[in-house]
Amino acid sequence: MLTELLDILSFQGGYNTSVVLLGSALLGMAGGVIGVFSLLRKRALISDAISHATLPGITLGFLVALALTGTGKSLPFLMTGATISGILGVLLVQWIKDNTRLPEDSAIGTVLSSFFGLGVVLMSYIQTLRDGSQAGLESYLLGSTASMLQSEAEMIAVFALLITLTAAIFLKEFGLICFDPDYAASRGWSVSKIDLLMMALLLAVVVIGLKTVGLILIIALVIIPPVTARFWTDRLGLMVGISAFSGGISCFLGAGLSALTPDFPSGATIVLTATTLFLLSLFLAPRRGVLATGLRQIFFRYRISRRRALLSLGQGQPVLSSLFILLLKHEGTLDKNGQVTKLGQQKIRQMSRDQDLWNQYLSDYPEEAFAQKNWSLSMITDVLPPDLIHELEENLRLQQKVAG
């Protein structure tokens, strides 16, 4: 089983399977890239409206193709239908949002369920036609790579590459619009045009991904990889790169697993693979991950306790916790007999100075200090700008003069 999987993943499972895998990987990459921008533009859910809205289009495309060519399963007809009804769905969401008092999420919920309902009715009608070619149409619901033709996989690959390239070229503009659309508009950037392009790319990913991932699960392709990537970086460019990689590898592995077990819909295996990467990131990512947050919490307590211990020593009070005496001995603040060393005195002076400045900050600017997450945690010079620290020092000196 494992060797078979390795064979498939190393492109030895036959030419057709290899092309399908490659197409899927590129599809995942495209979804990961464009997904970052829908996430940051806070429009992640609109992709769910688009994907569900494609179903009536797919079924109508099937019926038109059946009438014109005698067979319903013609990819160009299905894709065109999907695109048109996807666009209709988005326009309807936009219209409801602009012309009623409904919030966007209600508009999305209404549109996606109505379109999906219509699609299911049309699909059931097609099932009654007994034409024979309708078999497999339901694979658009949950995705199936097993029945994918080589030409279809190639088309997916080409479009996925085009989408990724376009998004990469517009990285600067997309980032600007996502962060601060008002500012962008004030500089003369056409926010509506750039938004339209983002929406078009999102729609394109959904349409080319229908066959592989299925319309019910395709939203995962544009949401899970970006949120996975966000765990690892604070930089937009890197986030796009990591999201592309994580989307690509999820689709590659997921499609490989599905090729091995054709009974599993490929959409499900792909999404589960993406979820695995997400869970790994959730727990293991440095800084933003759950584990790192927990460790930081422990370290945070340690830092507070150490600061308190040094300040107590500075005021001539003994450190009570025997654990902390050990730690302070270890770092050289106390010698073997528990006496403060020279190095220790320097550290104590530094720490009380720092605490004085933090206290001064708190009394001078209570609101600012209250909002400052690092208050009295880090050294103040690492947190506040030099001009402010200079001012605090001046105020402190004045106050000490008055007190003295």
Partner 1 sequence: MIAKLLRLQPHQPLTSEAAKSAPLAIQGLSVAYHHKPVVWDLSFIAPAQGLVAVVGPNGAGKSTFIKAALGLIPKLSGEITVYGKSVASQRHLIGYVPQRGSVDWDFPASALDVVTMGLYGKIGWLRPVRKAHRAAALGYLEQVGMADFADRQIGQLSGGQQQRVFLARALAQDAALYFMDEPFVGVDAATERAIVNVLKDLKDQGKTVICVHHDLQSAPDYFDHALILNIRPVASGPMAEAFTAENLQHAYGGRLAPSELSGLIPLAGQ
Residues contributing to the site for partner 1 (CB under 8 A)? 40, 42, 169-170, 172-173, 175-176, 178-180, 182-183, 185-189, 230, 233-236, 238-239, 364-365, 367-368, 371-373, 383-388, 391
Residue 273 near residue 259, CB atoms below 8 Å: no
Smallest separation (angstroms) from partner 1 to the CB of 190: 10
Residues 6+ apart with CB under 8 A from 101: none
Residue type present at position 84: I
Return d(Cα 102, Cα 105) in angstroms, integer. 8
Q: How far apart are CA 20 and CA 145, in angstroms?
A: 7
Q: Closest approach of Cβ 94 to partner 1, in Å?
A: 17
Minimum CB distance to partner 1, residue 388 (Å): 4
Give the C-alpha separation, 46 to 24, whole Å: 22
Q: Which is nearer to partner 1, 137 or 388 (CB)?
A: 388
Shortest CB 212 distance to partner 1, Å: 28
> Measured between alpha carbons, how far is 238 from 246 in angstroms, rounded to an integer?
12
The minimum distance between CB 367 and partner 1, in angstroms, equals 7
Taking the C-alpha atoms of residue 25 and residue 225, their distance in angstroms, rounded to an integer, is: 13
267: region left, alpha or beta (phi > 0 left; psi from -120 to 50 alpha): alpha
| Collapsed DSSP state (helix, strand, coil) of residue 21 | helix
Least distance to partner 1, CB of residue 178, Å: 7
Whether 91 contacts 119, CB under 8 Å: no
Per-position DSSP letters for 118-143, written without gaps between them:
HHHHHHHHHHTT--STTTTTTHHHH-
The smaller minimum CB distance to partner 1, of residues 233 and 258, is found at 233
How big is the CA angle at 105 (ends 172 and 34), to the nearest 5 degrees? 25
What secondary structure does DSSP assign to 249-281, as a single string?
HHHHHHHHHHHHSTTS-HHHHHHHHHHHHHHHH
How far does CA 142 lie from the centroid of its chain? 22
Minimum gap (Å) between residue 289 Cβ and partner 1: 16
Q: Indicate the residue among 263 and 387 with the shorter CB distance to partner 1.
A: 387
Q: Give me the least distance between CB of 28 and partner 1, in Å please.
A: 20
Residue 76 CB burial class (10 angstroms; 0-12, 13-18, ≥19): exposed
- In the complex, what is the shortest distance from the CB of residue 283 to partner 1, in angstroms, rounded to a whole number? 20
Nearer to partner 1 among residue 349 and residue 397 (C-beta): 397
Q: What is the DSSP string of 202-243?
A: HHHHHHHHHHHH-TTTHHHHHHHHHHHHHTT-S-HHHHHHHH
- Nearest CB to partner 1, comparing residues 193 and 349: 193
Closest CB to partner 1 among 132 and 385?
385
- Judged by beta carbon, residue 32 or residue 175, the one nearer partner 1 is 175
State the minimum distance, in angstroms, from the CB of residue 168 to partner 1: 10
User: Do the Cβ atoms of 189 and 15 come closer than 8 Å?
Assistant: no
The pair of three-digit structure tokens given for residue 339, joined into one six-digit string: 């006496």
**Which tokens is 369 given?**
């200090």
